[in-house]
Amino acid sequence: MFDNFFEKFYNAFISNEGYKLMIDGLGNTILIALVALLIGIVAGSLAALAKVVQSRDVVARVFRLIADMYITVIRGTPVMVQLMLAYFGIAASMRFDNALVVAIIVFGLNSGAYVAEIIRSGILAVDIGQMEAGRSLGLSYATTMKDIIFPQAIKNILPALGNEFIVLIKETSVAGFITVFDLTRAARAIVADTYEAFVPYLVLAAVYLVLVLIATFFINRLERRLRKSDRR
């Protein structure tokens, strides 16, 4: 299996310029993960707020129902099925063929369902007295949530958000099913060119591992910085 490993590596990535394909795929993978995470945080925050608002108002109940349906449907179906439905079904019917944009939106909405539950649990973990103190000072519910509750919740859920980003990086490996040229699809193209599977897929695994390690490093640094600010 490891016979002539370096020769196979050279043939796959140097002489056949497979490294260029991997670089292109890496760029798309990082782009999808970063933008999808931003979409997920926005969508997840809105869904979480819709679920935690304590109001019997009709509008609030409608938003709560929509949030519940969104989270249930997204978490109850595989992301690959969502990708294919969005691209080959919805986007195709609209004659929209930008697979990269579709992938970003789908991964963003998929991540949002999980981020919503993370943020909701973070908000509920903040002592209820914080909300009561804010309201007693004359602050509105929205202002209290924005300026007092939400910042504390973010600190509590940062590790879980970091883990969601790591999961998102790895989940992007299925984007190739809708023709997005990501890392996994780049490795498959190299295999098709060289008829050698082990070395390209081993390098693919190593690249994903490095991405996860880099993300973990920055997440840990951010957590340490927040802990220092709390002690001050």
Q: Take residue 163 and report the two structure tokens written for it.
A: 């883990």
Cα(226)–Cα(213) distance, integer angstroms:
20
H/E element holding 136? Answer: helix 128-136
Q: In the chain, what are the domain boundaries?
A: 5-231
For 194-231, the DSSP string reads HS--HHHHHHHHHHHHHHHHHHHHHHHHHHHHHHHHHH
Mean pLDDT, rounded, of the chain: 87
- In one letter, which amino acid is 125? A
**Can you read off the two tokens belonging to residue 182?**
């990501």
Which residues fall within 8 angstroms of residue 55, CB to CB, at 6 or more apart? Answer: 61
In tens, the pLDDT along 37-90 reads 999 999 999 999 888 887 778 888 898 999 999 999 999 999 999 999 999 999
Phi, psi of 229 (to 5 degrees): -65, -30
- Is the pTM higher than 0.85? The answer reads yes
* 22 CB-near residues (< 8 Å, 6+ apart): 13, 183, 186, 187, 190, 203, 204, 207
Decide if pLDDT at 102 tops 80: yes
Nearest residue to 170 via CA among 52, 29, 20: 29
> What pLDDT is stored for residue 87 in this prediction?
95
CATH architecture of 5-231: Orthogonal Bundle (1.10)
pLDDT in tens, 154-200: 778 888 888 999 999 999 999 999 989 999 999 999 999 888 888 89
Residue 221, pLDDT > 90, answer: no
What's the confidence (pLDDT) of residue 230?
59
